[in-house]
Structure 1
């Protein structure tokens, strides 16, 4: 499982065992940081924890202070790492704002001779592990009772076979520290509901949408702007820069939640086994089909979610299984590949990815055979453009494991609309069912989009 799945599992266990926990979420980063906005970590009061919000340098200190930081409610911590030639200790500087459930903790690396801070609770080996990013990380802390609203939504979205996406926003920091603000830290708004119905709703702890009544025109204006941004995400692949100015000094984290990637593998040979294993490590939903009953058995693929014997003429089931899925044709059988490919090429808008195993000339011969049997060969054109053959990236190495790694990388890039043609790109791939689109500062937004699914970094 990936970290999101692990967090959901531990959260459920903590609830059942009546063990309190704190969810830590990175809501903004400045400069270099190991994890981007959206990274999460769950800390239980009995000592269990899962997830990472840094490379390991912040977690020990966060675990020690998570429950104290959330003693009065949701909390934002700003962690700053400054590279110096003589880094020996970490200082926690607290600034509290009256009448507001907010505490800013700024962690700074200082020199040893500056002795005006207490050195207790500092482990130098622990401190030096992972240092060097020279960035700042903003982390939102919430008790489990509050955070379960988001976790429940993630769990629900992850189980949607229709591949619908839910967009919600977390209000994590008000720069004016206004105690009377309608927008409190940790409030999550369902932007999809606003786009569809015009109703401003907050996702409460019971995982139901609660209408936010008497919201001011200023708040409505902010939500409308955020909704417009999130609704226009699909256009970011052709957008190089987006700038917006507003008067509300509030920072938002906009999150797009999507179901897990569904991988359909047509073929049940031995070289499919590593692909199934790697896909399940990423928490993908995996289905293996083959027309040969002796190969398509659950015993051969115990990690797969489903293993089916699928007849070559069963086009209806093939289309049902391939809806919004990534498809890998790996049967090593001309008759199987011809039958599957013929159906799928004519339904190019049905799936997210299609890859064919085998040399290029073999696939081209299959396409030619398929087209000669059609009255309208042009119907294959879109499917052919969408087809990846030979399947997978050539990353080096040999054998089924290297093939599986190349397929995983290509599927992940295509599903997330990543363009990997540019060398030394700073684009970060995401392969979970939780994706942060961008973190915005409402009074001055300037974001740069590298692709439709790339993380958008604040300037």
Structure 2
């Protein structure tokens, strides 16, 4: 997603010349289908379509490749001096690249759709690849399935095929992709330890929203890389517009504020919900938040990652931020492995042992 931001920025700030899209991979490849590189008229580029082995070749020849319009070029990254496909570099695969002039209506429509996706408007892009005497044709569909753009050369039947209204009636090659909005991360807590978390998320191209009930901490100048910095009101997280695909990390270090925010956050059921703090503190928080909203502890634990973050080891805000970002990434990509999250049984055990109540007494005394 950060790469998409860089490509769109170069497109807006420079005279774009050629857009290269990785459309097919056979065997091993550093990048997967959908990776892009935008080359401008000065020879500068943004994005990558390999681990660096093809970029130099493309920046030298891309303008020549599109002299007659868009084309599909095949490269082998096998280490083989006798291969007919240029040129073996030892990466272990064959890649097909769509190379298109950046000034065409089709490319402009794609770039605008990419830019809109960064603002949260998702799209489906269907591209009929050039070949057999036909040029590149493209349809851009909005999130509701409406046609945002369609090449002039496309028939209504082709457009209906793109919309899924009719089965594909021929063997023409197509490349279909979903332009998803950036991952949104809500950092609920604006202490100093939230800064590396915000920085790492921004490095990945995520949209980061920082919120805290303490206005003296929730200031934009403290989090320059965040998309928004919000001072929370009495409704906690309820007014932030958190959705099911979002991630949220609760880390205010204030027991009372954490409890109120957690109670407002649970019914929203974001895709990832992490709670920073010791197990005994988190156990009491979950128990009390469950009672506040009339849920069982088991229902709450099913939604919460606590202790937050993967068990990577290390100490300090940066190491914790890395562990949290890694777990959010794994969870949101469907790659979550072994979890350390609380269960109803562990919550009950912590409370029974009395650790949570002792921690609360110390915490309350510190906050006073």
TM range (shorter): 0.7 to 0.9
- How far off is 1:226 after superposition? 9.3
For each residue in 1:369-405, what CA deviation from the matched residue of structure 2 results, as whole angstroms up to 9, or x when unmatched? 223344x334x75543121111111223221111111
Unaligned runs of 5+ in 2: 339-368
- How far off is 1:186 after superposition? 3.1
How far apart in 1 are the matches of 2:280 and 2:202? 31
1:340 paired residue among 258, 261, 267 = 261
How far apart in 2 are the matches of 1:361 and 1:70? 63
> Counterpart in 1 of 2:37?
41
> Counterpart in 2 of 1:269?
191
> Counterpart in 2 of 1:107?
86
**Alpha-carbon distance change, 226 to 254 in structure 1, aligned in 2, over 3 angstroms:** farther
For each residue in 1:219-264, what CA deviation from the matched residue of structure 2 results, as whole angstroms up to 9, or x when unmatched? 5785466989xxxxxxxxxxxxxxxxx8733322221111112211
For each residue in 1:140-163, what CA deviation from the matched residue of structure 2 results, as whole angstroms up to 9, or x when unmatched? 011111222111001112212xxx
> Counterpart in 2 of 1:203?
149
- Indicate if the aligned counterparts of 1:264 and 1:321 stay in contact, CA closer than 8 A: no
**2:113 matches 1:153:** yes
> Counterpart in 1 of 2:64?
68
**Alpha-carbon distance change, 226 to 280 in structure 1, aligned in 2, over 3 angstroms:** farther
> Counterpart in 2 of 1:293?
215
2:125 paired residue among 168, 192, 215 = 168
How far apart in 1 are the matches of 2:258 and 2:148? 48
SS in 2 for 1:136: strand
- Indicate if the aligned counterparts of 2:182 and 2:206 stay in contact, CA closer than 8 A: yes
**2:136 matches 1:144:** no
2:238 paired residue among 315, 318, 321 = 318
TM-score relative to the length of structure 2: 0.81
TM-score relative to the length of structure 1: 0.66
SS in 1 for 2:221: coil
**2:2 matches 1:23:** no
**How do 1:165-314 and structure 2 match up within 5 A?**
165-172=122-129, 177=132, 179=133, 184-190=134-140, 196=145, 201=147, 203-204=149-150, 212-215=154-157, 219=158, 223=162, 248-311=170-233, 313-314=234-235
- How far off is 1:44 after superposition? 1.3
> Counterpart in 1 of 2:310?
393
- Indicate if the aligned counterparts of 1:66 and 1:141 stay in contact, CA closer than 8 A: yes
SS in 2 for 1:61: helix
> Counterpart in 1 of 2:295?
377
How far apart in 1 are the matches of 2:202 and 2:182? 11
SS in 1 for 2:173: strand
- How far off is 1:420 after superposition? 4.1
SS in 1 for 2:218: coil
**How do 1:407-422 and structure 2 match up within 5 A?**
407-420=324-337
Unaligned runs of 5+ in 1: 94-105, 110-130, 229-245, 422-459
- Indicate if the aligned counterparts of 1:266 and 1:327 stay in contact, CA closer than 8 A: yes
SS in 2 for 1:365: helix
How far apart in 2 are the matches of 1:420 and 1:202? 39
- How far off is 1:191 after superposition? 5.1
How far apart in 1 are the matches of 2:334 and 2:308? 17
How far apart in 2 are the matches of 1:420 and 1:75? 41
> Counterpart in 2 of 1:330?
251
For each residue in 1:139-194, what CA deviation from the matched residue of structure 2 results, as whole angstroms up to 9, or x when unmatched? 0011111222111001112212xxx63222222255xx2x3xxxx4532223568x
